Amino acid sequence: MSGGRSSDAWLRAIPAVFVLIWSTGFIVARFGMPHAPPLSFLALRYALSIACFLAWIAWAKVAWPQSRAQWLHLSVTGILMHAGYLGGVWVAVKAGMGSGLSSLIVGFQPVLTAIWLAYSLRGSDQPGVSRRQWLGLLLGFVGLLMVVWRKLTLGSPLDQVTSANMAFALAALLSITVGTLYQKRFVQACDVRSANTVQLLAALLVTLPFALMETEAMRWNGELIGAMTWSVLGLTLGGSSLLYMLIQRGAAASVTSLMYLVPPSTAMMAWLLFGETITWATLLGTALTAWGVSWVVRPSRR
């Protein structure tokens, strides 16, 4: 009985833990980006993560996906959700786009997911996106905009928008949206460790050739080592695994709406770590975002 209760408590806590871990992504970028080219950093991150997963799989004797189709589907999601999403965000930030704008662009993901679900499920017996969920998505996006608006209007030299970094940010948005829907549709249930390893292998194969073209050298120091360590252990082994589990267990619109909570959480972490200003708009936007997400993820009464 106690074991079942502990399991249920952990399952309920997964969304909150995921948001906290995923929110550290831009914090890691702030520490690591000045000292490394983006794709080389990501390629090394994938390689180290694969090594950790392989050791874990061997120790736990985890089963690998059985069919070629599953390997193919996992590879596609790995290319989209690792190489495409992370690569697009990191290159956009490295090219001068501020974290506020990049997180706002990626924040369109829940809306795109909901639009696609509403379109694809029309006329079918399956429930689409309800009016309550649409309103929750709208509230979440308004709250997200309130959180990042100050950064968008600061006019800092580090918040420059060009056609190049905008293209990479939009590519990241498209990749995470399509990857989430593709995984929910095609990837069958399998162990998260072996599934993540297959995804990372595909992401590494796609990212490595582009990383080898980068001319900037990686300058190893405490900040870069710390950023790499947390990227591997926290973001990939922890955050990516939790995202895989959430997609497999939940509705796509409900899962992706959690992404709305990432920029507010990141703003709070930046306030604690770097002393960045927290305004009334940030606090109000955070509350509005959380309220909107609760409307999306709340089970239907039907």
pLDDT in the model for residue 9: 63
Report yes or no on 209 lying in a domain: yes
Report yes or no on 292 lying in a domain: no
Report yes or no on 135 lying in a domain: no
Q: Mean pLDDT per 10-residue run, the chain (302 residues)? A: 56 78 80 89 97 95 92 96 93 77 71 68 58 77 73 54 82 90 86 94 97 94 93 91 76 63 75 72 75 65 50
Report yes or no on 245 lying in a domain: yes
Whether the Cβ atoms of residue 108 and residue 172 lie closer than 8 Å to each other: no
Report the candidate in 284, 267, 263, 285 with the shortest Cα–Cα distance to residue 275.
267
pLDDT in the model for residue 76: 97
Q: What is the DSSP string of 61-109?
A: TPPPP-SHHHHHHHHHHHIIIIIIHHHHHHHHHHTT--HHHHHHHHTTH
Whether the Cβ atoms of residue 183 and residue 77 lie closer than 8 Å to each other: yes
CA distance 33 to 31: 6
Report yes or no on 217 lying in a domain: yes
pLDDT in the model for residue 4: 56
Report yes or no on 26 lying in a domain: yes
Residue 280, number of CB atoms within 10 A of its CB: 8
Containing structural domain, residue 36 = 2-125+157-250
Report yes or no on 55 lying in a domain: yes
Report yes or no on 175 lying in a domain: yes
User: Among all chains, which residue has been given the structure tokens 């999601």?
Assistant: 77
pLDDT in the model for residue 243: 81
Report the candidate in 255, 254, 230, 261 with the shortest Cα–Cα distance to residue 243.
255
Q: How many domains does the chain have?
A: 1
